[in-house]
Amino acid sequence: MNSAITIFLAGLIYVVLYHTYGKALQNKVVKADPNRPTPAHKLYDGVDYVPAHPLVLYGHHFASIAGAGPIVGPAVAMAWGWLPGLLWVWFGNVFIGAVHDYLALMSSVRYDGKSIQWIAGKLMSKRTSMAFELYVWFALILVIAAFANVIAGIFVKTPGAATASILFLLIAVILGWLLYKVQIDFKVGTIIGIVLLALAIYIGFKFPIEASKQVWYIFLGLYIIVASSLPVWILLQPRDYLNAYILWFGLALGGIAFLVVGLKGMGTFTAPAYTTWSAHVVGGKPSPFWPTIPLVIACGALSGFHSLVGSGTSSKQLDNELHGLLVGYGGMFTEGFLSTIVISSIAVYGIKVFQDANVAINFQNWAQIYAPMVASKIGKVTIFAKSYAYGLHDAFGIDVKAGALFASLWVSAFALTTLDTATRLGRFAWQEIIEMVKGPEILKNKWVASFILVFLGIYLAWIGKWLVIWPAFSGMNQMLASIAMMTASLWVAKVQRPAGIWKWAVLIPALFLWVTVTAALIWFLIYVGKGSIWVSIITIVGLALNFLLVIDWYHAWKKPAEEYQAATA
């Protein structure tokens, strides 16, 4: 295989499916109406409900859902060879992940921007909603701990990225003021923002800020409390929009580079296409491709975290229902394209990166040593960053060290965006929980709700205890996707009632995902989780929730559609 062919095929698949399958979902399932007022207009409050330009919201949504997942997951899955991972990214992305993200967004839009957890309660039962809300809130504490640890680590190792990131925040405030208060022309504001962004990167490299990890924890904690409580137009929207330019630039540069490398005859895949059914991947154990692949390749194909973003921040900022396809469906396709670049770059240059680290790898030992060596010696992000950098060098002559540095900055931009969006989502979940139990009003205050969440998350990062339960997170995240997809299938079948076979286009992937994730959690509990009592407990709790969901879903599915209240809009 040649890198030019995979990049071309990925682009073709995503463009064609967006304009056929995606448009059909929009017109026949969601029945998007440009004249129907969205929550951003109906409930405008200048804080969370604020209509955004479609490109700004697409940038926010894509940057928030990406994180490091579409890079790390496919990089680790190369242990099975490049072909299984590539097929799962394309298949899972088109028929499950993008459908999941788009329906989570649009169902939330039809329920006044409420979360997917709230919608599950509306369509199934209150106990489903409460269990779902608590699960999401605890999961987001863990996300904050993990991403704070990742970002603080990057800032310590690459101080220039810290300087640039802080300057990004100031530039975002300037852009937000220009766009919403001065009401400068959108294109002019964008150009000013991009120029300042480039200047910030230059200053970052010239004047790096060096500090300990603990100092960065405190900084990040204060930052995300403020960022999640301020009105979205001041910081969140413009910051994510500008960050997205870094991400888009990196995507375009990488896509073109691996096309050029392929056309030059230097893009032949040197990694094996397929190794074995059970490569050593999860916890260093022999891991069957099915059902463990959705646990490993998360964001590149599908991720439950995306449903929280779609039904959390994005649905409250959608200006027009027709923009939902670009934001929800297109955002997921962009992640799939990113994962395709990751797989292509490692397939071409992965062996070279192993050689740089003095690790002898070949077709015979690939399945056994690839994932463990990536985790312990090379680094899950580093193997991509260096492979990407070699591609830029062979395509355009860019220095390998500069290319790897840019790739690292790229990843930190993803992670920082995910961190503050996760905090805002955790605040929403906490406020919905307090509303359900009719708790004191003070606990619903946005500053109080944010502080409680961030304090717990940063504390876990500070003491390092989040690592004890992190191995269970990938399974829990995909279980969240399963719950969201089952909820979406009910919404489509009972509320939207599409003609013909379209309800099966959601129901079949939802059932496939539920069976896959349940089997994966059972496998994980038996073969991997037994080494940690906390991981085992969390996995068992997750499984219990998963079976509770399917029972409630079955009872709801049997009800006549007439019993369901129509959409509120």
Domains and CATH numbers, the chain: 3-437+451-566 (1.10.4160)
Rg (C-alpha) for the chain, rounded Å, is 22
Element (H, E) at 452: helix 446-463
Contacts of 163 (CB under 8 A, 6+ apart): 200, 203, 204, 207, 208, 209
**What is the DSSP pairing of strand 278-280 with strand 286-288?**
antiparallel
CA 483, CA 518: separation in Å to the nearest integer? Answer: 11
Q: Do you find a cis peptide bond into 291, omega within 30 degrees of 0?
A: yes
Please give the torsion angle defined by the CA atoms of residues 321, 325, 326 and 331, in that order, rounded to the nearest 10 degrees.
130
pLDDT at residue 309, rounded to an integer = 92
- Beta-carbon count within 10 A of 27 CB: 12
Please give the model's pTM, rounded to 2 decimal places.
Answer: 0.88
- Beta-carbon count within 10 A of 276 CB: 16
Q: What is the pLDDT along the chain (569 residues), one digit of tens a residue?
A: 899 999 999 999 999 999 999 999 999 999 999 999 999 999 999 889 999 999 889 988 988 887 777 888 899 999 999 999 999 999 999 999 999 999 999 999 999 999 998 999 889 888 888 888 888 888 888 888 888 887 888 788 778 878 888 888 899 889 888 988 888 888 898 899 889 988 988 888 788 899 999 999 999 999 999 988 888 888 888 887 887 788 888 889 999 999 999 999 999 999 999 999 999 988 778 899 899 888 888 888 999 989 999 998 999 999 999 999 999 999 999 999 999 999 999 999 999 999 999 999 988 899 999 998 998 888 887 899 899 999 999 999 998 888 877 777 777 777 778 788 888 888 888 988 898 888 888 998 989 999 999 999 899 888 876 666 666 777 888 888 998 999 999 999 999 999 888 989 999 999 999 999 899 889 888 887 776 777 788 788 888 888 888 999 999 999 887 777 554 44
pLDDT at residue 236, rounded to an integer = 80
Tokens at 294, concatenated: 């959705």
CA 371, CA 282: separation in Å to the nearest integer? Answer: 8
Inter-CA distances, 398 with 3, 204, 253, 403, 407, Å: 18, 20, 11, 7, 13
The three-state DSSP-derived secondary structure of 217-237 is HHHHHHHHHHHHHCCCCCCHH
Written as one string, the DSSP assignment of 53-102 is -HHHHHHHHHHHHHTTHHHHHHHHHGGG-HHHHHHHHHHHIIIIIHHHHH
The strand pairing partners of 52, in sequence order, are 318
pLDDT at residue 330, rounded to an integer = 95
Which of 460-479 are b and which e, b meaning 16 or more Cβ less than 10 Å from the residue's Cβ? bbbeeebeebebbbbbbbbb
Can you count the helices (H) and strands (E) in the chain?
Answer: 25, 2
In 3-state terms the chain splits into helix, strand, coil percentages (rounded to 5) of 80, 0, 20
CA 53, CA 301: separation in Å to the nearest integer? Answer: 26
Nearest 5 degrees, angle CA 148-CA 151-CA 152? 80
Chain CA centroid to CA 162, Å: 22
pLDDT at residue 569, rounded to an integer = 43
Check residue 560 and report its DSSP letter: -
pLDDT at residue 471, rounded to an integer = 64
Say if CB 435 and CB 121 are below 8 A apart. no
Element (H, E) at 287: strand 286-288
Q: φ, ψ for residue 264 (rounded to 5)? A: -75, -10
